[in-house]
Amino acid sequence: MVQLQSASELAAAAASKPYPNDSADYRQARTALLAEEIELRRHIERVAAQRRQLPLGGEAPPYQFKDENGKTIGLADMFGAHDTLVSYFWMYGPQRERPCPMCTAMLGALDIPARDLSQKVAMAVIGRSPVERQLAFARERGWRNLKFYATVGDDFARDYRGLAPNGDEWPALDVWVKRDGKVHHFWAGEMGGTEDPGQDARGAPDPTPLWNILDLTPAGRGTDWYPKLDY
């Protein structure tokens, strides 16, 4: 096992090159923060390694979906040539006039890198509205690379926490794997209801770039601002 240099030592070495007009107080505080950021990075990497070691989850039931061509398919058909599928169930059911703004922010951030991600894994956006309706909104936003699918019935949405018993929709990020011709659930962002006091529901780490960038700023993400579909 490689012995890592301490985060404090790494931070001190990096801090030896100050930016113009840094005060001593700023440099000291920034160095202490950098050590914590290094530790955070290492913790994220340890969690990722632990995630990769998960055993297979449950085999997925034979759900049905509609693809962009109106063809009825199963989860296994979404994999293409890959053995891993990343799916995002978004809040755009038939009862919604417009999609969830935060789901929109998430998918907007994925559309461009989807071209790169699809070299390694399959990706699918799943909604309860017809694919044509989902695609119309996608084109309105300028999205070109994400693949959309519509659920046939609500079993999938209910089982994988995208639809509550009272009819409320929730976003669901899931990873699936195909083994010996069978689809197994591998991982899900099971963070709903685990937020700390004063926080909105959020993942850990949160995959949405919007929040990650705001967390770098003095004001942070705040408590009373959310993205909108139009400004």
The stretches in the chain having pLDDT less than 70 are: none
Residue 126: how many CB atoms within 10 A of its CB? 26
pLDDT at 119: 97
Q: Are 174 and 187 a contacting pair, CB within 8 Å? A: yes
Instruction: Using the CB atoms, write b or e for 142-172: b if 16+ within 10 Å.
Output: ebeebbbbbbeeeebbeebbbbeeeeebbbb
Q: How far apart are CA 205 and CA 224, in angstroms?
A: 21
Q: Are 149 and 124 a contacting pair, CB within 8 Å? A: yes
- Taking the domain 65-188, which CATH number applies? 3.40.30.10
pLDDT tens profile 186-227? 999 987 778 888 887 777 778 889 999 999 999 998 888 999
From the list 100, 97, 89, 99, the residue with the least C-alpha distance to 157 is: 89
Helix 24-52 and helix 7-14: axis angle, to 10°?
130
pLDDT at 1: 73
pTM over 0.85: yes
Q: Are 123 and 86 a contacting pair, CB within 8 Å? A: yes
pLDDT at 181: 93
Q: Where are the domains of the chain?
A: 1-53, 65-188
